[in-house]
Every structure is written in C-alpha cells, then in structure tokens.
Amino acid sequence: MKFSKVSILLIGSAFAFSSGAFARDANTNKGKLHLQDKTIVDGKPLDPGNYTVEWTGAGPTVEVTLLHGKQTVATFPAHIMEQSTPNHNDAYGSAPESDGSRRLTVIYISGKRTNLELEQNQASQQAGVSNSK
C-alpha cells in the first residue's frame, strides 16, 4: 500500500513537471541569427556576429528579443509569416538606408516554416523597398 502511494506521487510529479516544460516551449520560440554586416535593429546599430532570437506569442504579431550572449540588445514586434516549406538555413533580409547602413527587415529560422517580418518593414514595403541581403 505504501509503495503504491509513493509510485503515484512520483508519476504525478513527473507529469506535472513535464507539462510545464511543454507549456513553456509552446509560448517561447528560439533561433539563431548571424549578422554578416553592421545592421540597424530597432533603431540600434548592431555589430556583425552571432545572436539568439527569441519570440513569444502565438501570432500573427509576436514580441521578438534579440540577445548577444546573455545580454538583450533589442526587443521589437514582428509578424509571423507562414511558408509552405521549412527554411534550410538561418538567414535574414535587410534593406538599405539613405545613410548607407542596412536595416533588418526579416529573420528566417532554420527548420521552421515561418519567418519573422519586422513591423518597421511594413511602411518600407509599401514604399517599394525590397528585402535584400
């Protein structure tokens, strides 16, 4: 009798902790971003290098956090856009600014069927600026 109560308690605990982990994964998505050039993100110039991309929300609008190591370097809204096939690589799109710098416009995460289009990109697309890298 004592053995079965302990077993039930352990199994119940395992389910409780595992469901919490699944809930977190459902609300937070992660990916990687490698900037090859100095790029403007959320009005801030970011140096070339490796960054972690995290976004929360179910869409179509999500909150994106860009981290360099453990430090948050930018937080901005983006639109999730569905694609028919998964992205083969981590990639990004950028658009030229009048001062010669480049502005981040879209992030593609490897293995995902979605991309993250930055909200600041909406006005540029209407003005005819294309996403390029």
pLDDT digits 0-9 by tens, 59-118: 799 999 999 999 999 999 999 999 999 999 999 999 998 888 899 999 999 999 999 999
How many domains is the chain built from? Answer: 1
What domain range includes position 123? 29-127
Residue 82, in any domain of the structure: yes
Residue 35, in any domain of the structure: yes
Residue 40, in any domain of the structure: yes
At 22 the pLDDT is 42
Residue 11, in any domain of the structure: no
Residue 132, in any domain of the structure: no
Quote the percentage of the chain above a pLDDT of 70: 68
Which of 4-13, 18-27, 28-37, 80-89 is least confident?
A: 18-27
Q: Cα–chain-centroid distance for residue 1?
A: 50
Residue 60, in any domain of the structure: yes
Number of H helices, E strands in the chain: 2, 9
Residue that wins the pLDDT comparison between 96 and 2: 96
pTM of the model: 0.69
